Structure formats: structure tokens, C-alpha cells
């Protein structure tokens, strides 16, 4: 589970320095978001506007019945995005015509200028060169911490977690991204656009609704491999295991 957010951060966000004071102009969410405070916003998005939320019962778990929990979850996560997993190969095959002609006409082999490795096709060489690029490109370093990124965009995204350019007009709390601020503003407005289809509860955050939906399921998403007991949250499973699983001893 190489997700970088697992890197230990400040345990208390309130102790974080206000980077918004350090650099860059503050970014404010458009004023209409604050409209009607402290009453809930009028345009509460219907839950139907979001992806349908399945009830996970014993027989209809969307994930394979919880095996090794972290990896399986990661797999499930990546599966969600796997639809766009390999568009690159397509592009690689589509060579710029001029280049292909210029290179292909004069030689049967295409040699890497870096390591000398030869390829029969230009696309093969391009793919190979990409490896060199990936290795060499990871030099976008954060000036606030030790993290490195392969692209400037990724680095910029990360730096925002230091600069926190999105500031709440109401309480002054700063966030790295506008949608984080929007979610925060809901704590002021009371807006809860994510409704549970099985009870009357509503949530301001989709993740919290998703966690709540687990409570309606007989078989929870996270299962103890020792005693098969299931939990709605990984943290609960961790607690269970750390406290000594009933069947583990």
C-alpha cells in the first residue's frame, strides 16, 4: 500500500503553520457558497445526482469477500480507474508521421542515445526512452519537505498542501484545494447533500456516507482473517487486531 497519504503527517491539523501567510494570494471560494448562512444552502444536490450507492449484503458485496484487506482494497480502488489504464500504448503506436519517415527510411534499427540499446521500430525505441525519462524526471522536489515528484503538476498539487491557498471566509481555516474548502463550508452551512437511501441520515461528505452505508450491511467491508469478523472501517479492524483478535490466540 504505497499510498503517500499514509506517511505520517501532523497529527493535529490545528498545529499546522498557516502557510497561506507565507506565500501566494489566498484563494476564496465564490461568494455564493456562503449565501444564506447560517441556513443550509438552497441548492442541495440530490443524492440521485451521484453514483448509485449499493447496499452490500452478504451475497452482493461489490468487492470479493474481503480477503487481505489492504491490498484488496487497493485493488478495488485501482479497479475503479482501470478503465483508463492503458491509453498510452495507443499513443505510442501512433508515431508522428514525419519522424517515423525520417528515422525509418535510413535505418532498420533505432538506437538509444543513452544506453545504446537498439530497437527494430521507432515506437519500441520511444517506449524504451520513456524508461529513461521516468528515471531522470523524478527531480521535482518540494521546497517545504523532502517529497519528490515525477511531474511539475504533481509537485504543484503537493505544494498546495503546504501553502493552503483556499481560506474559509467564515473561520479563516485554510485548505489545499477548493473542494476541501467547500466540504468545510458545509460544516458552517449545515448542508448535507449525501443522503442514506436506507435511513433518514444525511451527510456532508460522500466518504462519510460510504462509511455509514457499511453499517447497513450484514457483512462489512473489512474482515479479520483470524476470526472472520467484519468491520465497517479499517480503523475498527485495526483496533480489533491490536486488542488481540478473539480467534487469534
The residues of the shown chain that bind DNA, judged by CB under 7 A, are 1, 3-6, 8-9, 11-13, 16, 50-51, 70, 73-74, 76-77, 80-81, 83-85, 87, 147, 151-154, 156-158, 161, 164, 173, 175-180, 182-184, 186-187, 201, 203-208, 210-212, 214-215, 220, 229, 231-236, 239-240, 243
Rounded to the nearest whole angstrom, what is the least distance from the CB of residue 120 to DNA in the complex? 30
Q: Minimal distance in Å, beta carbon 105 to DNA?
A: 32
| The C-alpha cell that represents 152 in the structure block | 511539475
For DNA, give the closer residue by CB, 128 or 177.
Answer: 177
Q: What percent of the residues of the chain are helix, what percent strand, and what percent coil, each to the nearest 5? A: 45, 10, 50
Nearer to DNA, 110 or 217 (CB): 217
Q: Which of residues 36 and 70 has its CB atom nearest to DNA in the complex?
A: 70
Q: Please report how close the Cβ of residue 121 comes to DNA at its closest, in angstroms.
A: 26
- Closer to DNA by CB, 4 or 59: give it: 4
Kind plus residue range of the DSSP H or E element containing 124:
helix 122-137
Contact 199, 39 (CB under 8 A): no
Query: Computed from CA positions of residues 155, 157, 163, 165, in that sequence, does the dihedral angle turn out positive or negative?
Result: positive
Cis peptide before 182 (omega within 30 of 0): no
The grid cell for 166 is 483556499
| Minimal distance, residue 107 CB to DNA, in Å | 32
Of the candidates 157, 161, 220, 127, the one whose C-alpha atom is nearest the C-alpha of residue 10 is 161
d(Cα 146, Cα 125) in Å, to the nearest integer? 33
Please identify, using beta-carbon distances, which residue of 125 and 163 lies nearer to DNA.
163
**Minimum distance, C-beta of residue 127 to DNA, in the bound complex (Å):** 18
Amino acid at each position: 500500500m504505497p499510498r503517500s497519504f499514509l506517511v505520517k503527517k501532523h497529527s493535529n491539523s490545528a498545529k499546522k503553520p498557516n502557510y497561506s501567510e507565507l506565500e501566494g494570494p489566498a484563494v476564496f471560494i465564490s461568494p455564493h457558497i456562503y449565501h444564506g448562512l447560517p441556513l443550509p444552502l438552497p441548492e442541495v444536490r440530490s443524492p440521485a445526482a451521484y453514483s448509485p450507492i449499493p447496499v452490500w449484503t452478504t451475497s452482493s458485496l461489490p468487492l470479493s469477500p474481503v480477503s487481505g484487506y489492504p491490498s484488496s482494497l487497493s485493488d478495488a480502488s485501482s479497479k475503479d480507474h482501470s478503465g483508463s489504464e492503458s491509453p498510452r500504448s495507443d499513443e505510442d503506436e501512433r508515431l508522428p508521421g514525419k519522424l517515423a519517415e525520417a528515422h525509418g527510411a535510413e535505418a532498420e534499427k533505432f538506437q538509444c542515445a543513452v544506453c545504446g540499446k537498439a530497437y527494430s521500430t521507432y515506437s519500441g525505441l520511444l517506449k524504451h526512452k520513456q524508461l529513461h525519462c521516468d528515471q531522470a524526471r523524478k527531480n521535482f522536489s518540494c521546497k517545504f519537505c523532502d517529497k519528490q515528484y515525477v511531474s511539475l503538476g504533481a509537485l504543484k498539487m503537493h505544494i498546495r498542501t503546504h501553502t493552503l491557498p483556499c481560506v474559509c471566509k467564515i473561520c479563516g481555516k485554510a485548505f489545499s484545494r477548493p473542494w476541501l474548502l467547500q466540504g468545510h463550508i458545509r460544516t458552517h452551512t449545515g448542508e448535507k447533500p449525501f443522503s442514506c437511501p436506507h435511513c433518514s441520515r444525511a451527510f456532508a461528505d460522500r466518504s462519510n456516507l460510504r462509511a455509514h452505508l457499511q453499517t447497513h450491511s450484514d457483512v462489512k467491508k473489512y474482515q479479520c482473517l483470524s476470526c472472520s469478523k467484519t468491520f465497517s472501517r479499517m480503523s475498527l479492524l485495526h483496533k480489533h487486531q491490536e486488542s488481540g483478535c478473539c480467534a487469534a490466540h
